[in-house]
Amino acid sequence: MAPKWPAILRDAVAPLIEAIDVSKRFAGGLGRESTLALAGLSLAVHAETPSIIAVVGESGSGKTTLARLLLGLAEPTGGEVRYRGTDLHKLTREERRTFRRDVQAVFQDPYGVYNPFYRVDHVLTAPVRRFQLASSRAEARELIGEALRGVGLQPEEILGRFPHQLSGGQRQRVMVARALLLGPKLIVADEPVSMVDASLRATILSSLRKLTDDRGISILYITHDLATAFQVSDSILVLYRAHLVEAGAAERVIAAPQHPYTQLLISAIPRAHAARDWLIDEDEETRKGRAPLSAHGCCFADRCPHAASDCLAAPPDLYHTEQRRAVACVRFRDHPALSAGALGEVLHFTPALPGAPCDESFPHSGQAE
């Protein structure tokens, strides 16, 4: 287990990667309005406290945009992304190299990420060459073999093959091995198992969990699947239509969801071992939302059963409702509002601060007040 740093010391060390009120808006083009892909979001990942953070949302929620912004593959239109205290897009060439070593990615499509012209070895030898991780070919082979074994693959079965000769699960694991080669502190995994068979998902996700527990690598697990997010991550962020609606400890968010959208999501997951009451009366479903969609109010107002006039006026603040929970819903306005940047504290293991709302049922919360 990683050591628990006192909050005050941790503030002195800049987080590995930090998003400060980051937002992305795509220009509309001729006659069309611009699209908000991600509203102001703040998030921090500390290298000293590795954990798995799940970002859950449907398509259009902004989760992939967030991943691309954190990886430096896209530029934010508002706010900043900082690597160890410096703006990502103002890094020197040397700093950028270190950034690329510290932050790596695994993408969703286990086929498109391979250049069909080369064997799969290419995807592993390229980073070794670019970052000069080995001084000889033998050393490079050893490094690559180790990385493959680390994700449960046999180098003899993988190397020398073309991408179409491997299964989807194998290809995805090779991608994880590639990410590991550089010894990163954070891996951004964008839907790493959604295109992989159900029986193989567990294997891949378990190996990701092992990376965090054994090697101290943080993982940003981006997915639409709440169930796997619950199984494998420490904290969950729920995005809806480019906004963060709920964030907190994984068990709490699933066991007792506070935001109406999270509640809707959880109830909509068909479960195998539950009563057969999942199929709904569609007309009831469509009647639920009472308020019209407003561009200025809460993003969920048009589908929310609790929508009130306040919800249409302005987007709700993020309220700190439990020690490790934050919800963007006006129903919780009697709780303290979180400032931008404070979300990181909510998501991490922190000793209880005096006066903070307490979270009795959560086992890791340190001394309960």
Residue 122 C-beta: closest distance to other proteins, Å: 9
Q: DSSP letter at 258?
A: -
Q: Is 256 left (phi over 0), alpha (psi -120 to 50) or beta?
A: beta
Q: Which is nearer to other proteins, 140 or 338 (CB)?
A: 140
Residue 57 C-beta: closest distance to other proteins, Å: 9
On the 0-12 / 13-18 / 19+ scale of CB atoms within 10 A, 21 is: middle
Residue 227 C-beta: closest distance to other proteins, Å: 4
Residue 361 C-beta: closest distance to other proteins, Å: 14
Measured in whole angstroms, the distance separating CA 159 from the mean position of its chain's CA atoms is 30
Q: Which is nearer to other proteins, 9 or 279 (CB)?
A: 279
Q: Which is nearer to other proteins, 168 or 315 (CB)?
A: 168
Question: Which amino acid is present at 233?
Answer: S
Q: Which of 161, 91, 92 is nearest to 123 (CA)?
A: 161
Q: Which is nearer to other proteins, 95 or 109 (CB)?
A: 109
Residue 86, classed as helix, strand or coil, is strand
Residue 206 C-beta: closest distance to other proteins, Å: 6
Q: Which is nearer to other proteins, 201 or 320 (CB)?
A: 201
Q: Which is nearer to other proteins, 13 or 268 (CB)?
A: 268
Residue 189 C-beta: closest distance to other proteins, Å: 13
- Those residues whose C-beta lies under 8 Å from the C-beta of residue 10, and which sit 6 or more positions away, are 46, 48, 49
Q: Which is nearer to other proteins, 2 or 264 (CB)?
A: 264
In the chain, where does DSSP find H-type helix?
A: 7-12, 63-70, 93-102, 121-130, 137-150, 155-158, 168-181, 198-215, 226-232, 250-255, 260-267, 282-287, 309-313, 343-347
User: Which residue ranges make up the site for other proteins (CB under 8 A)?
Assistant: 58-59, 71, 73, 97, 100, 104-105, 107, 109, 112-118, 123, 126-127, 130-131, 167-170, 175, 178, 197-203, 205-206, 209, 224-228, 230-232, 250-251, 254, 264-266, 268-273, 276, 278-282, 285-286
Residue 334 C-beta: closest distance to other proteins, Å: 29
Measured in whole angstroms, the distance separating CA 189 from the mean position of its chain's CA atoms is 7
Strand duo 86-87 + 78-83: pairing: antiparallel
